[in-house]
Chain A
Amino acid sequence: MGLNDIPVFIARTPQEFHDLLLATRPDPATGRPDPARVGPFMSTHPEVAGAVALVSGRTITSGFADDTYLSLDTFRLLGMNGVSAPVRWAMVPVTPPRAAPSGTGPDYLFEDLIAALHQAPLQWRLVITTGEPSDPTSDPTRAWPASRRRIDAGTLTLDRAESEDNGPCTGITYDPTVLPAGITASDDPILPARSAAYMRSFTLRSGERKPASAITPAMVATGGPS
């Protein structure tokens, strides 16, 4: 399962995402996106502008441990009666989110998570939201109304971290269209694009020599930087 801590995705189609990347690419002179290019793009793409505003305005929690992670894309869940329903899901932290991050250094988010896991396991609730016929399934830039039915589908408990070096998640790729029986992809055009793009990037990075991870197995084992 691949989840992200933004409320919505920032483009409706692969083409729109491609155009957004071109419009926001850094200006070589300043190292920042060129406002003369970004402005006109946002005014002609109100859906992207709206989604970017939601992403920019989200609450930044203190770290990975108290963050909420969302599917963003819509999937279809097959019911016992053979009828499928559109769903989106989220991992909602059991620990109430604390305010803005306090740490320092390039790796403090990882170090805080490792330290927290050495104290106690961390838990998230898997919350599945079912869509109504009026809810957009093919547009991940639009959030569904907060009043939709929510199903508490279980608890994720993390009891330890793993370094990327020799960790069990190294060397595999996430593909949102590889799904267990009973769950299928929706008509969201971002889903096949993610599948295709992730396989291509997996091919490229698997053919490279991987440098040692900044988060070493020793740091994970001892609970902090040594």
Chain B
Amino acid sequence: MNAVIRFSALARLLHWLMAAMILAMLFVGVFMAATEGAAYDTLLSLHRPTGITILALAVIRLGNRFLVAPPPLPGTLPAIQRMAAKGSHILLYALMVAMPLTGWAMLSAGAYPVVFWGSVHLPPILPHSPALFALLRHMHTWLGLTLFGVIVVHLGAALLHALVLRDGVFRAMASLRPGRCGRD
């Protein structure tokens, strides 16, 4: 067993909590956009508060990422894989923020009420503009599908580190131990 530097406990908690929420949201979004049945209302009323919560958690997570340095990648990793890791993580963070923001913005531009939960409404973040609504509604779908693709790549890379390379990268995020340094 090698000594590892793990992600901070907060980073790991946010990662797994948001992983579950984002995966659930992608499926809720796809089923919601494909149905006109009674589930449409239920899924929609689940989709909006979850999206806003993800936005809030993403902001906390980004702050934590800048304040607490993530564990360094192993020195054995080729430069191309380092670049891929960095690029995909930037893309994941960008999409985590962009998905809820485009959802909120598109409802604002379409003059829909932005219902958080029940009678709790959020203010519009864009002026009323049908053309902008159409653009953002399409963007919301395409960014969602892009996020789905990046998550599949992320999952593939995680499994590569866990099962093939066994270089401690997976354990740095998957560990249940509280501290940042130590042996697993």
A172 to B135, CA, bound (A): 15
Interface size on A, residues (CB 8 A): 25
Q: Is the CB of A181 within 8 A of B130?
A: no
A171 within 8 A of B: yes
B131 within 8 A of A: yes
**Residue contacts A-B, CB under 8 angstroms, 22 given:** A14-B36, A14-B37, A171-B111, A171-B129, A173-B110, A177-B41, A185-B41, A187-B38, A189-B38, A192-B36, A192-B38, A193-B36, A193-B40, A202-B110, A202-B130, A203-B133, A203-B134, A203-B137, A206-B131, A206-B134, A207-B131, A207-B134
Q: Is the CB of B110 within 8 A of A207?
A: no
A204 to B131, CA, bound (A): 10
A189 to B115, CA, bound (A): 21
A residues neighboring B (CB under 8 Å): 14, 170-173, 175, 177-178, 181, 185, 187, 189, 191-193, 195-197, 199, 202-207
Q: Which applies to chain B's interface (DSSP): helix, strand, loop or mixed?
A: loop
B residues neighboring A (CB under 8 Å): 35-38, 40-41, 110-113, 119, 128-131, 133-135, 137-138
Q: Is the CB of A189 within 8 A of B130?
A: no
B60 to chain A, nearest CB (A): 31
A203 to B133, CA, bound (A): 7
Q: Is the CB of B133 within 8 A of A175?
A: no
What residue in chain A is nearest B137 (Cβ atoms)?
A: A203
- Chain A residues whose C-beta falls within 8 Å of the C-beta of B35 in the assembled complex: 196
What residue in chain A is nearest B109 (Cβ atoms)?
A: A206
A176 to chain B, nearest CB (A): 11
- Chain A residues whose C-beta falls within 8 Å of the C-beta of B112 in the assembled complex: 175, 178
